[in-house]
Chains A and B, each alone.
Chain A
Amino acid sequence: MSVFINICYLVAAVLFIYGIKGMTSPKTAVRGNQLSAIGMLIAVVGALLDHNVVNYLYIIMGLLIGAAIGGFLARRVQMTSMPEMVAALNGFGGGASLMVAAASYMEMQILADRTIAAGGVFEHPPLQWSVALILSILIGAVTLTGSFIAVGKLMGKLGDSSQVKMFKAIVKVCFVLLIAGSAYFLYGDTMHSDNLLIVMIVICLLLGVALVMPIGGADMPVVIALLNSYSGLAGSATGFVLGNNGLIITGSLVGASGIILTMIMCKAMNRSLTNVLFGGSMAAQAGVSKDENDKFYEGKVKMASSEEVAMMLESASKVIFVPGYGLAVAQAQHATRELASMLQKRGTEVKYAIHPVAGRMPGHMNVLLAEAEVPYEQLVEMDVINPEFAQTDVAIVLGANDVTNPAAASDPNSPIYGMPILQVANARSVVIVKRGLAPGFAGIPNSLFINENSVMVHGDAKLVLQEMIAAMKDL
């Protein structure tokens, strides 16, 4: 039976790999996701057949409650809130690892006590078991609280903290305590360290909060990707605790995925991971005051009305949309697509330029535009679209700021210097739709807005786009 169960886990792991492989193209992705789900079903059946499992009532209750909550969340969540959803799921995954590790520690403890009470010799589990146990508790707890702080930041409930130094100090103290605690756990009386473990869990929960609190809202894409990786690694560590290869393989797949996405995000912002994690928010470091910001723009911004923009678009033969976070906030993805379709019907070539950190998580903008039924072939990555701006008649920037700032290429003193940007300024004319002149996440003014070939339309992206659509119809 045990062989059969292990084969179940192996089959599940293979299906997960095929499932992720399906994600390499939008055409095969739905099928891939279904393969992964089948894999999960096989793994669960395998676990239910385990000879240790005799009591099914609680299991079925747990599965039903989880399925109901998960199903509800998946149906209800808005596409704009996908970052919060993924962050919360990371937290649940970390929490599950924490629970399983704690439960298996208690079971091992009871086994030890009973064996000794019966006069037998308890064979102490090997060192690697204890190490894996500590790791799965640590990573699980940090992921749990860290993720929910990230959710709070994404929802705008938690602002950027100015207490970066304090949180850094807490992080350091936590690390020292955890190292000391782990050493004591490993070399002391491992099987009777309940209180020590409880204290360590509390420290890890605190550590999760202190690690994520000082990170700026703009860096949340990196944090979500990193926590995604943690939730996988926590699962892997649990696999080492239970001696379950299925868990180890799957956890490491998820861990690898999170790490890769983290690296892609960091590269797209030209920042190192340490800088993101411990550098504090960019706006707090290098941001300009409101007066400086006003002075930068004073009298230099050319304004335009929606009707004027409609006239520009009328004669354009190539238009590129540059969506940013502002588009998501204004829920303007449908209006964007409507305007784009109108232009296409008139024979205008339309594309969308997607910066890797546009939106609030990797690939967020693509999902929003897919929701509005924009064909994915029109969504073009930064490196591919940049040379095309020079042949573009009108580039429309919708709620994007820092990712279009020419200072990233020209001003070595700028905090975003070296960050790869969308070279929007090369287009023949640039239209910026933005609510006001407030700086973006980096806290600095954008010289694109005062460029010769730029005009701005102030207002909510959705309303402005609707005005443009109406004006286009009248032309």
Chain B
Amino acid sequence: MEMLILTFTIFVLAIFVGVEIINKVPPTLHTPLMSGTNAISGIVVVGAIISSGAGENTSGLSTFLGVLGIILATINIFGGFLVTDRMLQMFKKKKG
């Protein structure tokens, strides 16, 4: 139970941090913000790696699901970061 309270505290505090910083993002950058946070949500790849690489207590199906998870999350990571970079480079260029 104590563990749950601790992790839940982290969850709630992280939401507050998120709200604070994201409110400061100007509307101009809302699309890159969305694709950037998409990339970040690819962090679930961490769970997929641990699932698919585990040596014990696995079955063929669980490993398969894990690998599928890695593929989907990696699409998010690469697709998200690269497309965000592409957009942000356009904002960087300045010609009057």
Give the size category of A's interface with B: 35 or more
Interfacial chain B residues near A252, Cβ < 8 Å = 11-12, 14-15, 18
Which residues of B in the span 42-96 have a Cβ within 8 Å of any Cβ on A?
42-55, 57-59, 61-63, 65-96
Which one of A32, A55, A248 contacts B14 once the chains associate, using CB atoms below 8 Å?
Answer: A248
Interfacial chain B residues near A446, Cβ < 8 Å = none
Give the size category of B's interface with A: 35 or more
Query: Do A55 and B53 have beta carbons less than 8 Å apart?
Result: yes
Which residues of A in the span 68-122 have a Cβ within 8 Å of any Cβ on B?
69-71, 73-75, 77, 79, 82, 85-86, 89-90, 92-93, 95-97, 99-100, 102-104, 106-108, 110-111, 114
Query: Do A19 and B50 have beta carbons less than 8 Å apart?
Result: no
Which residues of A in the span 138-196 have a Cβ within 8 Å of any Cβ on B?
none
Chain B's interface: helix, strand, loop or mixed, by majority? helix
Cα(A414)–Cα(B18), bound, Å = 37
Query: Do B62 and A69 have beta carbons less than 8 Å apart?
Result: no
Which one of A17, A97, A361 contacts B31 once the chains associate, using CB atoms below 8 Å?
Answer: A361
Query: Do B36 and A250 have beta carbons less than 8 Å apart?
Result: no
Query: Do A96 and B95 have beta carbons less than 8 Å apart?
Result: no
Distance in angstroms from A454 CB to nearest chain B CB is 27
Interfacial chain A residues near B25, Cβ < 8 Å = 20, 23-24
Query: Do B83 and A106 have beta carbons less than 8 Å apart?
Result: no
Chain A's interface: helix, strand, loop or mixed, by majority? helix
Contacts A242-B50, A260-B19 given; does A62 touch B67 at CB 8 Å:
yes
Query: Do B31 and A19 have beta carbons less than 8 Å apart?
Result: no
Distance in angstroms from B15 CB to nearest chain A CB is 5
Interfacial chain B residues near A33, Cβ < 8 Å = 32, 36, 81, 84-85, 88
Query: Do B50 and A246 have beta carbons less than 8 Å apart?
Result: no
Query: Do A93 and B73 have beta carbons less than 8 Å apart?
Result: yes
Interfacial chain B residues near A224, Cβ < 8 Å = 34
Which one of A27, A66, A128 contacts B70 once the chains associate, using CB atoms below 8 Å?
Answer: A66
Residues on B facing A (Cβ under 8 Å): 1, 3-4, 7, 10-12, 14-15, 17-19, 21-55, 57-59, 61-63, 65-96
Sample (17) of A-B pairs whose CB atoms are under 8 Å apart: A20-B21, A33-B32, A37-B39, A50-B50, A53-B49, A53-B50, A62-B68, A74-B81, A90-B38, A92-B75, A100-B69, A126-B1, A247-B46, A249-B11, A253-B17, A261-B33, A367-B90
